[in-house]
């Protein structure tokens, strides 16, 4: 599975994830297959909300089409990740690296870099971001 973040930038969700033109519309960020579970755990570690509440906010934005789905992204998590400080990143990355979903294969330094890239991407727009899941 692929999971990426996307700002629609005035496009319809259907147009943004159209298999024929995917990645041609909207503003995309390669989320490196970090999806709902790791993101919800991260949000809990950052004191955004509890895991279950964050998981419940990832909902299909449109009717899923085949093996692809565009999910809403928890706004509170988006806001936190867009403004997270370097010290918060340095503090949360070691704990986040230990989650089961990373299978012990996520170096802390890589996660620190990843979170800084996510912050930079999310700071580019005030519009809601979406999580794309596709095969």
**Residue 114 — left, alpha, or beta (φ > 0 → left; ψ -120 to 50 → alpha)?**
alpha
Residue 134 sits at φ, ψ, to 5 deg, of: -150, 160
Task: Report pLDDT digits (tens) over 88-97.
Answer: 999 999 999 9
Question: pTM for the complete prediction?
Answer: 0.93
Beta-bridged to residue 129, according to DSSP, are: 7
Spell out the residues 6+ positions from residue 122 whose beta carbon is closer than 8 angstroms to its own. 5, 78, 81, 82, 129
At residue 5, the 3 state secondary structure works out as strand
Task: Report pLDDT digits (tens) over 7-55.
Answer: 999 999 999 998 888 899 999 999 998 999 999 999 999 999 999 999 9
């Amino acid at each position: 599975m692929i999971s990426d973040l996307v700002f629609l930038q005035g496009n319809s969700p259907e147009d943004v994830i159209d298999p024929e033109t995917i990645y041609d519309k909207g503003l995309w960020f390669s989320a490196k297959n970090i999806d709902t579970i790791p993101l919800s755990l991260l949000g809990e570690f950052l004191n955004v909300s509890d895991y279950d509440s964050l998981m419940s906010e990832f909902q299909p934005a449109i009717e899923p089409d085949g093996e692809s789905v565009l999910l809403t992204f928890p706004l509170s998590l988006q806001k936190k990740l867009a403004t997270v400080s370097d010290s918060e990143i340095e503090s949360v990355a070691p704990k986040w690296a230990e989650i089961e979903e990373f299978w012990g294969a996520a170096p802390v330094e890589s996660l620190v870099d990843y979170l800084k890239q996510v912050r930079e991407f999310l700071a580019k727009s005030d519009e809601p971001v979406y999580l794309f899941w596709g095969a």
